[in-house]
Amino acid sequence: MLTFVIFAALAGIALYLRKVMRGGDEPAHSDLTEDQIKQQWRKLGFFCELDDEQKLWVLTGSRAGLLYFPDLVLGYVNDPQNAAEGSKQHYGPYGSLELMTWRTAGFDAHSIRGSLDDLTRLAELVEAKLATAQPGESVKIRDEYAGDSPYALLLDVRADGFDPSSTDREHLGKTVAPTLPPRTS
């Protein structure tokens, strides 16, 4: 029994050290200003949110902005650090978009996952769907990627010039603590 406890403790320490060495899973966003958050959404090219009620990963942006998603996925696939099963990366100002290397393709409440080949296929599928998508359309991807997945990917296509930061209505500006006036004695 003692051997098992020691092994479990060492495994936990190894996972912690790996996380620290890679910079952690999620970027700390508590230090970001509202403008920095907006800039990060714009740099990403689209807004991302998880809708647990509808069981959807929703990406909102113009066609040009949404085309950054397949580039992001292919960048993930081409990074040798992501080859091992269980590898993951977080994206966006809150780190809410998670790509994960896994043995089976799927969408769930935590990540968009699959083998590197699966993720490459997802990137190609998104590119193909966006080739004909028009502003105002929503493109749902599930069956073509992972039919038994509990969640789906929804591409909410907006007009050219759409600012993805404008969709961030829930969090924007809430990451910075309010400044209190100095105390007077």
pLDDT digits (tens, 9 = 90+) for 129-154: 999 999 999 999 999 999 999 999 99
pTM for the model: 0.75
pLDDT digits (tens, 9 = 90+) for 88-144: 999 999 999 999 999 999 999 999 999 999 999 999 999 999 999 999 999 999 999
Average pLDDT over residues 146-165: 96
The answer, yes or no, to whether residue 84 has pLDDT greater than 80, is yes
pLDDT for the residue 37: 92
Average pLDDT over residues 3-16: 42
Written as six digits, the tokens of 177 are 């603590």
Mean pLDDT score across all residues of the chain: 82
pLDDT for the residue 32: 82
CATH code at 45-167: 3.30.1360
**Higher local confidence (pLDDT), 31 or 143:** 143
**Higher local confidence (pLDDT), 69 or 5:** 69
